[in-house]
Structure 1
Amino acid sequence: MRKSILLVEDEKNIARFIELELKHEQFDVTTCYNGREGLQLALDENNHFDVILLDVMLPELNGIEVCRRVRSHSEVPIILITARDAVMDRVAGLDAGADDYIVKPFAIEELLARIRSILRRTSKSVKKPQLLQYKNITINQDAYSASVDNCPLELTKTEFDLLSLLMTNKNRVCTREQILEKVWGYQTDVETNVVDVYIRHLRSKLPKEASSYIETVRGVGYVMRE
């Protein structure tokens, strides 16, 4: 079944190039050129997008705000496209709920690889129904839900995958590099800070006692111990 992508990019030459490449790779592509229209398309119940490619610098409504509003209603994977390479700009996008980002100028092959990586993660979550338990935290991978003492947790897809990984590897320290490979699906030497950002967000969404379950192993990574 062909996958559907929403592309929100105001530079029409870039948008057209990306659109043609995606269609060549057998994706269905819907393209728009401003943030407000992109938000409307993303939230329209008649649409089903498997991935959203979202430029940050958009007219009418910037990409960070679009991402934040989409994420409050949907867990559709979002890849931010940005011309800004500063760490704080990348962190702002991830804080808003983006699953990944790519910095202009980029090779189309890299963008395609990141899309395929996100789609693999999505498909794997469907193929492996499993109930995970750690103390009072329960994860239902079939329903893609998590709870503490039967109270639901509001997690993004990446936060959910991160918690699942740590619970699956109880008593085993997961390095930042291993987490990037398993959760994000690609190797990198810069974005290890992304792992720390998501750990912080995950802890903030857990009750105080449960947040302490995720231990930091200084200079290495993270672990949940029995």
Structure 2
Amino acid sequence: MPRILLIDDDAALGEPLAAYFGRFELQLRQALRPSEGLALLRRERFDAAILDVMLPEQDGFALCRAIRAESDIPIVMLTARGEVMDRVVGLELGADDYLPKPFEPRELVARLQTVLRRRGPAAAGDGRLRFEGLLIDPVTRSVQRQGEAVELTSTEFELLLLLAREPGKVFGRDDILNRLRGHEAELYTRAVDILVSRLRRKLEPLAAIKTLRNAGYALALRPAGSALLG
């Protein structure tokens, strides 16, 4: 059963949410303070984390940054409704998704199920994708750039895999959002630009992703020999 860590100082939230999560075979544990949450993440195994933006000790952005320095665990951030900058900052820091407060528990479960599916094993038969200077292994969810391992978040990896499976094909922002989220959601095209920017930085010095104005993004690397290696 996937284990989810909720870091939120609302003590009344954890118990009813944990009961609801249990209906979907998700185990929820709550930490009321960032320091407690970080200690739990370091001591125990969790499959995803939910961070509130408004927290004591440090805000959710600082906490997201601290977690990302140590782990690529999927992160969903809870933001104030209408606060677009909260979403932008959270995504820039490496969050995988966001959900405005107040939220419907079913939508939070759906978001979590989506990020957890991204971390699941790739479909049988998938081989490694090799390009000039870049190697992608869908089974181990690992990436090597010029022979060196690159640490990607689950969403960054899924974006790279999406582009790499059809190199040269242009994916529009809305198309990318729909494919990565896997369910109906508010379209937030700025999120794609942030995600691409993060991924580009991690793949430097390779010029891996090209932008086509008013069209979208495509993988710019040429396959090295055969792109599929089993």
**Which residue among 190, 215, 219 is the counterpart of 2:214?**
219
Shift of 1:151: 2.0
| More divergent stretch after superposition (192-201 vs 16-25) | 16-25
Asked if structure 2 preserves the Cα contact closer than 8 Å seen for 1:82 and 1:103, the reply is yes
Distance 1:9 1:125 in 2: 32
User: In the alignment, what sits opposite 1:11?
Assistant: 10
1:102-141 alignment to 2 at 5 Å?
102-125=99-122, 129-141=126-138
Within 2, Cα distance between the matches of 1:4 and 1:206? 31
Decide whether the 8 Å contact of 1:102 with 1:111 is kept in 2.
yes
Counterpart of 1:7 in 2: which secondary structure?
strand
CA contact (8 A) 2:81 2:102 kept: no
- Structure 2 partner of 1:201: 198
Residue in 2 that maps onto 1:165: 162
- Structure 1 stretch displaced more, 125-134 or 28-37: 125-134
- Correspondence for 1:50: 47
Q: Which moved more, 1:165-174 or 1:139-148?
A: 139-148
**TM-score w.r.t. length of structure 1:** 0.89
For residues 82 and 121 of structure 2, the distance between their equivalents in structure 1, rounded to whole angstroms, comes to: 31
**What is the correspondence of 1:138-157 to structure 2 with a 5 Å cutoff?**
138-157=135-154
CA root-mean-square deviation: 1.9
Unaligned 5+ runs, structure 1: none
**Of residues 81, 87, 91 in structure 2, which corresponds to 1:90?**
87
Asked whether the 8 Å contact 2:74–2:153 carries over to 1, the reply is no
2:175 paired residue among 170, 174, 178: 178
Question: Is 2:73–2:153's contact at 8 Å kept on the other side of the alignment?
Answer: no
Matched, 1:35 2:30: no
Q: Deviations over 1:31-81 (max 9, x none)?
A: 11111111111122xx11111111111112222122111112111111111
SS of residue matched to 2:119:
helix
Change (3 A) 1:189 1:32: closer
What TM-score do you get using the length of structure 2 for normalisation?
0.88
- In the alignment, structure 2 segments of 5+ residues that lack a partner are 223-230
Give the paired residue count. 221
8 Å CA contact retained: 1:4, 1:29: yes
- C-alpha offsets along residues 81-123 of structure 1, whole Å, 9 cap, x if unaligned? 1225322211111122111110001111111111111122222
Report the Cα distance in structure 1 between the residues aligned to 2:111 and 2:176, rounded to whole angstroms: 16
135-144 or 110-119, which deviates more? 135-144
Identify if the C-alpha distance between structure 1 residues 37 and 179 changes in structure 2 by more than 3 Å, giving closer, same or farther.
same
- Whole-Å separation in 2 of the counterparts to 1:5 and 1:185: 20
Post-superposition shift, 1:26? 2.7
SS at match of 2:120: helix
Percentage of pairs with the same residue: 36
